[in-house]
A = this chain, B = another copy of it.
């Protein structure tokens, strides 16, 4: 039987208030900062559970950390992620789904699953980067 604990709820809520992907470690710090006495192991367990139940998406950061984010349950989708601020947009990819299955079948593969994530700079961060371009770091003047 699955029990409903405030810790699990706190993790779910903390995840929901975040618009981008967060690591288990930083989610734990955040919860501790809000006065919660939740343990790190519990955060890991709760996140793993949420991911299994389809209430959270997970992906690996460049550094190999697992990052999590609340998502629409029971629906397969992909992400468009700002590599600067972490802003995440859920995108549908029916075309890519079909393509992935076709490619797999063409090569004799069965039980195809796929990882499709798009990284970029969101409009805000693009604007900021453009502003920074006004005073770029000078190249070696030699």
**Which A residues have a C-beta under 8 Å from some C-beta of B?**
60, 64, 66, 80, 82, 89, 91, 93, 95-96, 99-100, 103-104, 107-123, 126
Contact = CB atoms under 8 A, between A and B. Distances in A.
Nearest to A92: B103
Main secondary structure of the interface of A (DSSP, over half): strand
Given A114-B116, A119-B112, A120-B112, A80 B66 contact: no
State the oligomeric state as a number of copies. Answer: 2
A66 B62 CA distance: 10
A119 B100 CA distance: 9
A20 B95 CA distance: 27
Given A60-B60, A66-B64, A80-B103, A121 B111 contact: yes
B110 A114 contact: no
A80 B104 contact: yes
B123 A109 contact: yes
A80 B60 contact: no
Given A64-B64, A64-B66, A113 B120 contact: yes
